[in-house]
Structure 1
Amino acid sequence: MKYIVLLFTYTVAIAPLFSQTEENPVLWSKEVNKISETEYELILKGYIFEGWHVYSQHTAQGGSLPSEFTFEKAGESYELLGETIESETVTEYSEIFEVDETFFKDKAVFTQKIKLLRPDIRQIRVNLWYQVCKEVCIPVEEDFIFVLDGGTAVEDVKTLDERSKAMSAALKLDLKNKALLQQGQIDGLGAPSSLWIIFGLGFLGGLIALLTPCVFPMIPLTVSFFTKQSQSKSKGIANAILYGFFIVLIYFLLSLPFHLFDSIDSQILNTVATNIWLNLFFFSIFVFFAFSFFGYYELTLPSSWANKMDSASSKVGGAIGIFFMAVTLAIVSFSCTGPILGGLLGSTALADGDVATNLSAGMTGFGVALALPFALFALFPAWLNSLPKSGGWMTTVKVVLGFLELALAFKFLSNADLVGNWGVLKREIFLGIWILIFVLLTLYLFGVFRFPHDGAKQKVSFTRKGIGMVSIGFAIYLLLGLGKVIDLKLFGFLPPDFYTVAAQESDCPLGIDCFKDFDEGVAYAKKVDKPILLDFTGWACVNCRKMEENVWSEPDIYPIIKNEYVLISLYVDDRKELPKALQFDFKYESGRIKSIETVGQKWGTFQTLNFNAASQPYYVLLSADLEILNNAVQYTDRDDYLAWLKKGLQTFKK
């Protein structure tokens, strides 16, 4: 029973997406060794991506499911000689299933001897069912055809022409010192610190949600219910704390489905930042959220859901009843929390890295902030008297959130524009829209205009004036950046500095001369005898913009990149179509054939094939002779990046 939910989720939600990934986490190849006229050895080799593992046929019962082979027509056309032999495995104790699990890392090899019972058999069909795992295990089923001497696989319909074979071969690099890539890899600012930052942002979002009219009035009502209805004060406090715990649990559980997507391939969630139609969809959704906060309509989940949860909490009672009360709160407050949660999802999706883990941290922070007052006011009920009364100030909070949602919406529209190379939302236009949004927010806060759900006109409070001053200050900051009076640094949210209406000498970051074709860059590096900084980037990559704005621009780093290295920037999300003469089919070792039709498809495949990586930014230092000069790095801080660049130069000079 414990696998039913997993298998159902995979069938309905995961399987359709799995076949669409750029590459499966396991690449398979086949071999056939002829032992005699009637005996053969079938060998299946699986190359497993780093961080993933595949379970053995003999892993212990009660844990993850074992790999299973089905040999079609075994016993009729041929017989199996012994069991399927496995290569070296790893055995580790699973705290989840409390058993020792056996699995493959990096590589799995299965060998099966067969004896033909009929001389006309020329191919053997084999089905393999296995689990490939990272944080969550995903079941996969694949069919393989082993062709014996003189036979031809029936399914091998599409083949590569000589031109595609040559272009595919050219995509593979003969890298020297490749093992250095993974040694001491700097792959971020450190999971604990970055997760705490995202937790803090989620917590801030939860605090803001507390100030909305959907949640704020519920605090005194709910706390009073627990303290007055319970048989004792201590019981009331315990129930209120349990109620808060369930709120945190509910919002954490909402993030779990994203781990299923992330466990298949990090590129699935990364498509949120690179797929044009998804970005346009997010733009529309965030505009929709914004206008709901402006009061033109209200977002609500079906009232029947809340009624059923409320009824269940009354009937069941105890801890389960309190859980249903927490679910009821989540449902009835959706009109205010939904857009905030959407913003949280959008913010984590825009960031590179493990989106699912980031989202879990953010959702947990959101839940903790939402639950905190219920526990605190239960412990200290006298504090309820100090709470401000509900009123028009909560409407102001919603409107401010609406303007922020509107600003975030244009980031998604900018992503679609950048990836699609439309040239519509250039840097100046994007800044102009954001300036207009924050000027309008300032005018609203100072009472110049009103929205439909605003109450009677009142004197502008000191708090509103203060927030208005912050808003106009930010608008002025953007205006100074638009006029190039100052260098804007907005966490990578702006379009690249070279993506402007005004003519630019360079279409590379910070005006650094760069190449956007690998072969051209290597040829130039040979000519000038300089090392190469290979930059796997993306038009919609927020962390790439952060690195360019905050690290590359540093006075001790910028001249090194500009003068000491040859910069090759490859945009893996570029949807620009390749010239017909440069389009080709690429065949993976698994046998799957992929059409390379766009610039991004070419460089994305190039990155995965040569560096076994799919994230951006991703930086590699190498010589023109393709010798790796230092380990690969991703999003990191200025000190580590500077030391990394200098070490690469030292290696090159040696």
Structure 2
Amino acid sequence: MPRSALLPALFVLCCIAAPAGAQFGEEPLAKDPLATSKGLPKKFAKLASVEFVVEPAKAKRGETVTARLKVTLKEGGGGYTYPFFPADTKQLGKNDLAAPLPVGDLVFIGTVADPPNPDTKQRDDAPSGVMDQIYKHLAVWEFKAVVSPNAKAGKSTVSLGKYTRLQVCDATNCYPARGDELPAATFEVLDGESDKIKPADLEEARKILNLPPPKPSAPDRGSVGALPPAPSGSANKAEVRKSAKPLDQYTDELRVIATNVLPPEEGSDFGGIKQTGLWAFIATAALWGLISLVTPCVFPMIPITVSIFLKQAHGSFGERLKLAGVYCLTIISVLGLSAFALLKFMAWLSAHPVTNVLLATLFLVLALSLFGMYELTLPNALQKRLQAKQSKGGVIGTVFGALAFTVISFTCVAPFLGGFAGISAGNEGSGSLIAVPTAKEIAGGLAFATAFAAPFFVLALVPGLMKALPKSGGWLDSVKAVMGFLELAAALKFLRTAELRVFPTTQYFTYDLVLGAWVAISAACGLYLLNVFRLPHDEEKPNIGVPRLLFALLFLGLALYLTPALFKGHDGKNQRPAGVVYAWVEAFLLPDPEEWPTDLNVAIEASKKSGKPVFVDFTGKTCTNCRYNEREVFSRPEFHSLFDQFELVQLYTDEVPSKAYATDPGHSARIEEADVNGRFLTAVFKDNTLPTYAVMITQPDGKVKVFKYPEGKINHPDQFATFLKDSLEKAKK
């Protein structure tokens, strides 16, 4: 692609490249927001019946059982099914078995064999005599499994998981069914010690669960090989690692909890804390729009554009007013739509790995352009066409002039627009009707664009004010270079976010690497402002002014301030420079989250036994405000003692970290569980803000009282402490 075509392509990418849905969706909730598809597809059920059983139906922890999948083809239906592992590897028709199978209260071990004595059929599109293996009447598969050492006593269910595929066929078509659409097997976990344990089978199951060797002492709570406790630095000593549950079972558990939640109590303002209002949001958007004006792509164009208005108006105030109005309304429409799109989808954009890579590429391209490596311009053909339209003057020419200016200026405006959208995505939201996201985002987008366009209108009406504007010059080149450094830093952050969503742990864009790069970028920016080196577009200018010197010292000081965080302390963790600046840098670069339990149903059951209320932290792997609260608020000694009085649980709504499980169930399974958590958050609190903090208190009748803290980012730690104390008092009543 020629360089002249880069800018419109990047403009379209940043403004409109977003999926159809947000992270949890803004559409009205279905009657059952946690509903999932269940049951065999109708055409499948016409040809075959399926049974999945566990034998024996009752077993103790650590015992070996057999799970049988029985597919019976109905007489007269002409149906058949395939093996999972046909003898001929070239056979295309076969069933697919997920490997490894889901780990829940049953841990599948060993290998699976197809039933003996299969039938055969002529292979489609193959020479005569080339046969496929099939089953026309009955097929039974046996799976060897061990009852998990961490299984809780009581009824349990197990499925083959959604990534298993079973199909039945007739003479014309094949009809597939996922493992989670097949009947689930039910069995009962018995409490107590067992004398039927097969050591070799149990050892294999323990390896799958990544459990440590059993200790000679009595295991915790009667389980075989209890999971390791939470680290000593966490708020309590609860178990934090779990075995993955089948998705339908996990969904059913949260559905039951959501059904029992009582409406939130009225009048609980917890010290009168209120979230950021609509007007404050609009004012912030307008401020970012005004800041965007003082950029090298925009500022020089202000007097030039106003001069064109004055020339075309021929001294007529009315004509000048009309042209300025049309020009500004065009900018507001185009830029406002871009701002609205970013605000609308920023929560999704900030988490999706593909979009983060695209945004990192965009910011890298823009940074290199601002450094002077190349010039981003409109394609020649489009540029000539716009100039021809603009030269005609009048309303049409003014509209095309505004369109050209908006696209050209986007190189400098994009970082500020993206920065505002990113910050607003992390701000606390509200469940009230005034904070309907669409209305708020429209208002924010229009405020940003209106503030950006306003000076053109004002100066067209009062041309004398242009004399008060500072003259364009070398200082704008410095602004351009500084923006390039900032965009380069942003690109690294986007790449780290993308890797966090793709891999369980980062390997390339680690926290230390990106922080080190930020230190280097800050130091390089400071040295540039001191004229230690120059860039291609800079003029030779040996002397620097006082403002430039102060900014140079600011960037160099920031580099020195952040440097200690690159080194480890005696505890093996990064040192943490004091102050709010490092707190924000650390949170923005998304350090590893604290480890808390991640199963709400387990926390509620523990609450019934201990009498403690449940503190729920709705969080995300890529949530900046979540990391800020964890590092700056939750780490304070006074909150350690408060959290000790709660059953703690974290519910991730973008992706559950792999370290939350004893054995990683896979990327897709972790995202699906997080999606259920997100739908639970929306169903119970009519909100999808991250972070959201709530306390749940289970009543004797099984109903659950909920109290939601009104802030996302905790700006008032003392009021948050009051919220926790008040919740403890309510739990005692």
TM-score range, shorter chain: 0.5 to 0.7
TM-score, length of structure 2 as denominator length: 0.57
- Counterpart CA distance in 2 for 1:185 and 1:328 is 52
- Counterpart CA distance in 2 for 1:634 and 1:203 is 28
- Matched with 2:531 is 447
- Matched with 1:280 is 357
Instruction: Give the conservation status (yes or no) of the 8 Å contact 2:697–2:731.
Output: yes
* Cα deviation digits, residues 66-86 of structure 1 (max 9, x gap): xxxxxxxxxxxxxxxxxxxxx
Does structure 1 residue 618 correspond to structure 2 residue 692? yes
Q: For residue 538 of structure 1, what is the amino acid of its counterpart?
A: G
- Counterpart CA distance in 2 for 1:15 and 1:28 is 27
Instruction: Give the conservation status (yes or no) of the 8 Å contact 2:346–2:422.
Output: no
Cα offset, 1:387, TM superposition = 3.5
Instruction: Give the conservation status (yes or no) of the 8 Å contact 1:571–1:600.
Output: yes
Q: SS of the counterpart of 1:203? A: helix
Instruction: Give the conservation status (yes or no) of the 8 Å contact 1:182–1:631.
Output: yes
Q: Which has the larger radius of gyration?
A: 2
- Matched with 1:381 is 463
Cα offset, 1:526, TM superposition = 4.5
The RMSD of aligned alpha carbons is: 4.2
Does structure 1 residue 293 correspond to structure 2 residue 370? yes
Which among 279, 288, 300 is matched to residue 217 of structure 1? 300
Which among 310, 330, 347 is matched to residue 227 of structure 1? 310
Does structure 1 residue 195 correspond to structure 2 residue 308? no
Q: Which aligned pairs between 1:249-264 and structure 2 lie closer than 5 A?
A: 249-257=333-341, 262=344
Does structure 1 residue 650 correspond to structure 2 residue 729? yes
- Counterpart CA distance in 2 for 1:366 and 1:24 is 26
Q: SS of the counterpart of 1:631? A: strand
- Matched with 1:461 is 545
- Counterpart CA distance in 2 for 1:180 and 1:160 is 36
- Counterpart CA distance in 1 for 2:330 and 2:523 is 40
Instruction: Give the conservation status (yes or no) of the 8 Å contact 1:441–1:468.
Output: yes
Q: SS of the counterpart of 1:536? A: strand
- Counterpart CA distance in 2 for 1:284 and 1:22 is 27
Cα offset, 1:253, TM superposition = 3.0
Which among 448, 453, 458 is matched to residue 371 of structure 1? 453
Residue ranges of structure 1 left out of the alignment (5+ in a row) = 1-12, 31-153, 263-267, 501-506, 585-593
Q: Which aligned pairs between 1:62-461 and structure 2 lie closer than 5 A?
A: 159-163=181-185, 166-174=249-257, 178-181=261-264, 183=266, 189-209=275-295, 212=296, 214-232=297-315, 234-235=317-318, 237-239=320-322, 241-242=324-325, 243-257=327-341, 262=344, 269-315=346-392, 317-318=394-395, 320-349=396-425, 353=429, 360=442, 363-419=445-501, 420-424=503-507, 425-461=509-545
- Counterpart CA distance in 2 for 1:496 and 1:389 is 36
Residue ranges of structure 2 left out of the alignment (5+ in a row) = 1-15, 36-173, 186-245, 430-435, 567-574
In structure 2, the CA distance between the partners of 1:278 and 1:479, relative to structure 1 (3 Å rule), is same
Instruction: Give the conservation status (yes or no) of the 8 Å contact 2:485–2:521.
Output: yes
Cα offset, 1:197, TM superposition = 4.9
Q: For residue 535 of structure 1, what is the amino acid of its counterpart?
A: D
- Matched with 2:216 is none
- Matched with 1:494 is 586
- Counterpart CA distance in 1 for 2:478 and 2:664 is 56
In structure 2, the CA distance between the partners of 1:469 and 1:541, relative to structure 1 (3 Å rule), is same
Instruction: Give the conservation status (yes or no) of the 8 Å contact 1:543–1:635.
Output: no
- Matched with 1:90 is none
- Matched with 2:614 is 532
Cα offset, 1:537, TM superposition = 0.3
* Cα deviation digits, residues 103-158 of structure 1 (max 9, x gap): xxxxxxxxxxxxxxxxxxxxxxxxxxxxxxxxxxxxxxxxxxxxxxxxxxx99955
Q: SS of the counterpart of 2:650? A: strand
Q: Matched residue pairs, number?
A: 488
In structure 2, the CA distance between the partners of 1:284 and 1:28, relative to structure 1 (3 Å rule), is same
Cα offset, 1:287, TM superposition = 1.9
Q: For residue 560 of structure 2, what is the amino acid of its counterpart?
A: I
- Counterpart CA distance in 2 for 1:496 and 1:343 is 12
Instruction: Give the conservation status (yes or no) of the 8 Å contact 1:531–1:622.
Output: yes
Instruction: Give the conservation status (yes or no) of the 8 Å contact 2:261–2:705.
Output: no
In structure 2, the CA distance between the partners of 1:631 and 1:386, relative to structure 1 (3 Å rule), is same
Residues 448-457 or 399-408, more deviating: 448-457
- Matched with 1:47 is none
- Matched with 1:37 is none
Residues 169-178 or 612-621, more deviating: 169-178
Report the identity percentage. Answer: 29
- Matched with 2:623 is 541
In structure 2, the CA distance between the partners of 1:412 and 1:325, relative to structure 1 (3 Å rule), is same
Q: For residue 647 of structure 1, what is the amino acid of its counterpart?
A: D
Cα offset, 1:412, TM superposition = 1.9
- Counterpart CA distance in 1 for 2:374 and 2:463 is 35
- Counterpart CA distance in 1 for 2:446 and 2:630 is 31
Cα offset, 1:485, TM superposition = 4.0
- Counterpart CA distance in 2 for 1:370 and 1:227 is 20
TM-score, length of structure 1 as denominator length: 0.63
- Matched with 1:27 is 30
In structure 2, the CA distance between the partners of 1:554 and 1:382, relative to structure 1 (3 Å rule), is farther
